[in-house]
Amino acid sequence: MRRIVARLSPLLVIGTWLLMACGAPTSSTTGTGATTSSTSSDTTTPATMTTTGGGATASSATTTEGGTTTNSATTTGGTTALSGDPVPLGVAVAETSNTAALGQEQVIGVTIAEKYFNDHGGINGRPLKIIRQDTAGDENGAINAFNALINQSKVLGIVGPTLSQQAFAADKIADTAKVPVVGPSNTAKGIPQIGPYVARVSAPVAVVAPNAVKAALKQNPQIKKVAVLFAQNDAFSKSETGTFQQTITKTAGLQLLPVQTFQTTDTDFTSQATSVLNQNPDLVIISGLAVDGGNLVKQLRELGYKGLIIGGNGFNTPNIYPVCKAQCDGLLIAQAYSYELVTPVNTDFRKSYQDLQKREPGQLAAQAFAGVQVFVEAMREVDKATPLKGLSVEAARTAINDQLLKGKYQTPLGPISFTPEGEVIQNDFYVAQVKMNADGATGKFVLLK
């Protein structure tokens, strides 16, 4: 019976996300009275993006003397009126597939960012327009999404993709076309080295992951033996598990038990879980994605494992709750974001997210917001020096890339900047522990002090 349940659970989750991704694209408004522009016709707005009211004025289309169509947005409540041709920014994340549990959080983050920056003047008075493409969960999906954004939508930059595995395939296409890319969740080793047009706002796994091991040792100083499992078909998971294993053996001096592998598409982890339990570990570390990793956690608990579990960066979403449910409780996950950070931009981001989702924001949404933010601020600086409307698409892309790497940004993640190679520079990191509610279906990430 356990094996049957294990097979059904992720399919139900995936089905839920697929249904969420099937709605028609819409323009959504929030309670501040401002309007956001709709996404392109071949993308969808997630079901969680509901209208909260507030007297917004819808975008209107007018024809200029030259016969071109421009969008103008008039807002109330003290926000800035925008006019002129929208400035297109591409977003390519996983809105469907078993990776949608991650990508849908990123859609929320970029949707909040689009409204936030348009409420704050857009690109020096011109509206920012997010154009989304669904990458699904594989390399071909990311490649197709990037090609569409670059060649058809003529975007000036791209935030995406969701997975490092996808980034290694798609980022080089953008780099060859000289289109700047900012990875919102690509933490594997080697991402910024893909090319000069590739950067990321997601701190590398080698910097973040060891913090979770330190937190586990603080909670249980008696840890001696550690079991590690990772998704061998995922580039990020392979990179992350290397960091975890090095931390265990070289930094912490603990015993690493024989490593177990799985696939992100697996649903039955009985063999791996049984093997782990037979070795009697004090700590289990899992590098995988939300659906496969969450089901592995669930099956470990059902088979009797009582100790601490560390989940990798793929667990960094509230969407793990419907997967491992009550068994999510106690998970330790390293974080590059704190919803408790008190800064003007994070306070606004946190409130917008809470209004939409009725829960605290997580890292994936915050990083996606930051990905849009660095583009917006770079675009504004370029536009001040030489109006974007006077530049060719090619010249604008190059100028934005150059400016983006030079900037310093106050984001929901805290202050960040970039090395000349495109690696994010970020100082503050955290560890959260999942605390599930009594219903066993909802919970929260509690940041450890």
Q: With 90 as the cut, is the pLDDT of residue 291 above it?
A: yes
Residues 135, 269 share a domain: no
Asked if the structure places residue 71 within a domain, the reply is: no
Residues 105, 39 share a domain: yes
* 30-44, 198-212, 360-374: segment of lowest average pLDDT: 30-44
Asked if the structure places residue 280 within a domain, the reply is: yes
User: How far apart, in whole angstroms, are the C-alpha atoms of residue 319 and residue 118?
Assistant: 28
Residues 149, 26 share a domain: yes
Residues 31, 104 share a domain: yes
Residues 293, 221 share a domain: yes
Residue 27 is predicted with a pLDDT of 33
Residues 347, 323 share a domain: no
Q: What is the pLDDT of residues 11-26, one digit of tens each?
A: 333 334 333 333 333 3
Closest residue by Cα to residue 327 from 4, 6, 3: 6
Residues 235, 89 share a domain: no
- For helices 270-278 and 290-302, angle between their N-to-C axes, nearest 10 degrees: 50
Q: How many CA atoms lie within 13 A of 288 on its CB side?
A: 29
Q: What is the pLDDT of residues 338-381, one digit of tens each?
A: 999 999 999 999 999 999 999 999 999 999 999 999 999 999 99
Q: For the chain, state the CA radius of gyration.
A: 22
Provide the domain limits for residue 240: 207-335+430-447
Query: How high is the mean pLDDT of the chain?
Result: 86
Distances (CA, A) of 38 to 54, 116, 377, 380, 412: 18, 14, 21, 21, 24
- Residue pair 110/159 in contact (Cβ under 8 Å)? The answer is yes
Domain count, the chain: 2
User: How far apart, in whole angstroms, are the C-alpha atoms of residue 122 and residue 84?
Assistant: 11
* 9-18, 65-74, 273-282, 313-322: segment of lowest average pLDDT: 65-74
What angle is formed at CA 79 by the lines to CA 74 and CA 80, rounded to 5 degrees?
A: 60
Asked if the structure places residue 162 within a domain, the reply is: yes
User: How far apart, in whole angstroms, are the C-alpha atoms of residue 4 and residue 85?
Assistant: 54
For a pLDDT cut of 70, what percent of the chain falls above it?
82
Asked if the structure places residue 3 within a domain, the reply is: no
User: How far apart, in whole angstroms, are the C-alpha atoms of residue 64 and residue 123?
Assistant: 20
DSSP string, 241-266: HHHHHHIIIIIS-PEEPPPEEE-TT-
Closest residue by Cα to residue 268 from 445, 5, 7, 29: 7
Residues 101, 24 share a domain: yes
User: How far apart, in whole angstroms, are the C-alpha atoms of residue 151 and residue 170?
Assistant: 14
Residue 322 is predicted with a pLDDT of 94
pTM: 0.82
Residues 229, 192 share a domain: no
Residue 31 is predicted with a pLDDT of 31
Q: With 50 as the cut, is the pLDDT of residue 58 above it?
A: no
Amino acid type, 203: A
Q: With 50 as the cut, is the pLDDT of residue 204 above it?
A: yes
Q: What is the pLDDT of residues 70-119, one digit of tens each?
A: 333 333 344 567 999 999 999 999 999 989 999 999 999 999 999 999 99
Asked if the structure places residue 167 within a domain, the reply is: yes
In which residue are the tokens 């933010």 written?
373
Q: Does residue 117 sit in helix, strand or coil?
A: helix
Residue 449 is predicted with a pLDDT of 82
Q: With 70 as the cut, is the pLDDT of residue 125 above it?
A: yes
Residues 368, 328 share a domain: no
Residues 171, 314 share a domain: no
* 66-75, 125-134, 403-412: segment of lowest average pLDDT: 66-75
More confident residue, 426 or 23: 426
Residues 229, 267 share a domain: yes
User: How far apart, in whole angstroms, are the C-alpha atoms of residue 248 and residue 414?
Assistant: 29
User: How far apart, in whole angstroms, are the C-alpha atoms of residue 74 and residue 79?
Assistant: 9
Distances (CA, A) of 382 to 72, 174, 400: 22, 20, 6
Residue 279 is predicted with a pLDDT of 96
User: How far apart, in whole angstroms, are the C-alpha atoms of residue 19 and residue 96?
Assistant: 9
Reported as a pLDDT band with limits 50, 70 and 90, residue 34 is very low
Look up the CATH number of the domain holding residue 118: 3.40.50.2300
Q: Does residue 145 sit in helix, strand or coil?
A: helix
Pairing outcome for strands 443-447 and 430-436: antiparallel
